[in-house]
């Protein structure tokens, strides 16, 4: 259960024929008024995954703008910041599209984002609620002590090793893979129901390769991430993105594909971050995604659950987690806002959040990659353009690498 996770563990497999990431930027040199770098973007990033869903195109066009390029950002939504978008209510920054915690071990990425915001010292330490039993995440000695009434790492290792033996041979599905990694108790209480809600399928029907590892720590450490740097931008992500966009033209509420000829004529280079299959008119077929639905309510209490994120891991509860937003910034307001997050089936026309990375969809994506390689002035990037889960720091790393490539630095 990662940053924004339908994935349980490491996330998605490596992608075939990846393009340099970015989100729809077109750019031209010179002083002519019509010259502009156009960034065509849906700003869907965001997750889950943790989450991370950060609008990669912004990183590219901010860097392009610094280099004297003219940039135009187009967004189908009526606001900036993509899935990072925050609304302020009662002085609480609400993560509208689910929790986003920035974390990285890359110093140059951390330095980059700190140009645009000051980050607080928030540490992601979610807990899991299984039928009223509360467990710390990621799986660590606090988890094991509560589950088995033990104290030492050796006791925990012995129990997990014994339970792992329930699976012999190569795991045939996600259930067997999870048990082979963490044993039956952790799987039944903390993985099974959560994962089946996220994917809309039984774990026995999901491929084993969805999870390559699960975080297991034999220490009393509730910090979900191992990264050197971690935090939330003070004042929310929207303000951070506003600073990135200073001096750049932005057009909101515009669907690039509906005005394709107009915008393609403006730009020498386009970074497109909408769904790659939609760009090609679904000519090879429709790629599958999982959707999300959010229910946010204001509560007349100061502290509802005592932590920013609680995962609900039993299958009978329809939502996967409750987010209490004030805890991301250590709020002391007399009221609070909480969001329930419901996974759902996705249909064309709805927001797409998580790629369904099974063999069928990866084979279909590979066909679109071949089509994309035939277009020299369009870079397909982001979660939808590359059909790939991205954490926020990986988005920025990719965008900065793209800039270096495009500007031959």
SS3 237: helix
Peptide bond into 138 cis (omega under 30): yes
As a whole number of angstroms, the distance between CA 409 and CA 394 comes to: 20
Active site annotation includes 293: no
Strand blocks (E) in 31-70: 36-41, 48-51
Crossing angle, helix 392-406 and helix 56-66, to 10 degrees? Answer: 40
Per the residue annotation, which of 122, 353, 389, 390 is the catalytic one?
389
Q: Which residues of 93-125 are buried (b: 16+ CB within 10 A; e: fewer)?
A: bbbbbbbbbbbbebeebbebbeebbebeebebb
Active site annotation includes 389: yes
- Tokens representing 332 are 């002391």
- Tokens representing 364 are 């279909």
378-380 and 267-272 strand pairing: parallel
As a whole number of angstroms, the distance between CA 292 and CA 64 comes to: 33
Per the residue annotation, which of 59, 290, 390, 406 is the catalytic one?
290
Token look-up 């807990």 returns 127
Q: For the chain, what is the radius of gyration of the CA atoms?
A: 22
Per the residue annotation, which of 45, 75, 324, 391 is the catalytic one?
391
Active site annotation includes 76: no
Per the residue annotation, which of 217, 329, 354, 365 is the catalytic one?
217
Active site annotation includes 42: no
Active site annotation includes 341: yes
CA-nearest of 34, 124, 103 to 70 is 34
Active site annotation includes 363: no
Q: Is 337 in contact with 324 (CB distance < 8 Å)?
A: yes
SS3 58: helix
Per the residue annotation, which of 111, 133, 213, 297 is the catalytic one?
213
| DSSP assignment string, 298-365 | EESSS-SSSSSEEEE-STTSS-SEEEEGGGGGT---SSEEEEEEEEEE--TTSPP-EE--SHHHHHHH
Crossing angle, helix 153-164 and helix 141-148, to 10 degrees? Answer: 70
- Tokens representing 368 are 């679109």
SS3 160: helix
Per the residue annotation, which of 3, 75, 288, 341 is the catalytic one?
341
Active site annotation includes 264: no
Catalytic positions, written as ranges: 213, 217, 290, 321, 341, 389, 391
């Amino acid at each position: 259960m990662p940053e924004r996770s339908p994935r349980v563990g490491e996330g998605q497999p490596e992608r075939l024929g990846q393009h340099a990431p970015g989100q729809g930027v077109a750019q031209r040199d010179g002083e002519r008024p019509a010259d502009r770098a156009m960034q065509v973007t849906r700003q869907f990033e965001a997750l889950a995954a943790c989450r991370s869903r950060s609008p990669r195109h912004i990183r590219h066009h901010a860097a392009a703008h610094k280099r004297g390029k003219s940039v135009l950002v187009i967004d189908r939504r009526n606001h900036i910041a993509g899935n990072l978008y925050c609304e302020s209510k009662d002085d609480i920054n609400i993560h509208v599209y689910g929790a986003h915690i920035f974390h990285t071990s890359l110093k140059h990425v951390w330095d980059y984002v700190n140009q645009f915001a000051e980050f607080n010292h928030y540490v992601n330490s979610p807990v899991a609620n299984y039928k009223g039993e509360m467990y710390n995440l990621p799986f660590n000695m606090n988890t094991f002590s509560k589950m088995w009434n033990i104290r030492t790492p050796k006791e925990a290792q012995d129990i997990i090793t014994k339970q792992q033996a329930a699976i012999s041979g190569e795991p045939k599905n996600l259930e067997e893979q999870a048990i082979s990694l963490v044993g039956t108790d952790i799987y039944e209480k903390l993985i099974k129901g959560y994962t089946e809600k996220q994917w809309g399928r039984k774990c026995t029907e999901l491929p084993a390769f969805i999870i390559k590892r699960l975080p297991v720590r034999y220490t009393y450490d509730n910090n979900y991430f191992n990264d050197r740097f971690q935090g939330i931008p003070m004042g929310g992500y929207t303000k951070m993105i506003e600073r990135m966009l200073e001096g750049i033209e932005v057009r909101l509420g515009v669907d690039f594909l509906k005005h394709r000829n107009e915008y393609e004529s403006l730009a020498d280079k386009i970074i497109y971050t909408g769904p790659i299959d939609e760009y090609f008119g679904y000519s090879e077929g429709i790629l599958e995604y999982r959707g999300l639905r959010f229910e946010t309510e204001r509560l007349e209490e100061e502290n509802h659950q005592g932590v920013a994120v609680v995962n609900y891991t039993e299958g009978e509860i329809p939502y996967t987690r409750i987010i209490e937003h004030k805890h991301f910034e250590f709020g002391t307001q007399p009221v609070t806002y909480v969001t329930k997050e419901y996974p759902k089936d996705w249909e064309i026309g709805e927001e797409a959040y998580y790629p369904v990375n099974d063999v069928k969809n990866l084979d279909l994506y590979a066909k679109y990659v071949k089509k994309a390689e035939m277009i020299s002035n369009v870079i397909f990037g982001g979660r939808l353009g590359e059909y790939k889960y991205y954490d926020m720091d990986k988005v920025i790393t990719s965008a900065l690498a793209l800039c270096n490539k495009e500007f031959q630095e």
